[in-house]
Amino acid sequence: MLGFQDWGVTLAYVGTIVSAVICVVYGIVNWNKPRENEESEINEELEWEKNDPELKEGDI
């Protein structure tokens, strides 16, 4: 099959192509899908930066 002598090589080759196609399809489906809690994550990060004990004033 496909000119390879061993079925293992053929399966690896076909599996690589199939997984690449699956990754592309997944990327297209989820391209601009918004995150469910993006706004709360941004607010949480801003609050953390305000109270970060490792930062001194003026470092932000």
4, pLDDT greater than 90 = no
Q: Is 46 within the bounds of a domain?
A: no
pTM over 0.75: no
Our count of domains for the chain comes to 1
Domain limits for position 10:
1-31
Region of residue 53 (phi > 0: left; psi between -120 and 50: alpha; otherwise: beta): alpha
Q: Is 2 within the bounds of a domain?
A: yes
Within its chain, how far is the Cα of 44 from the centroid? 21
Residue 9 tokens, joined: 């090589």
Mean pLDDT of 29-33: 88
Q: Report the candidate in 28, 3, 26 with the shortest Cα–Cα distance to residue 14.
A: 3
Q: Is 5 within the bounds of a domain?
A: yes
Mean pLDDT taken over the chain? 85
What residues contact 60, with CB distance under 8 A and at least 6 apart?
Answer: 49
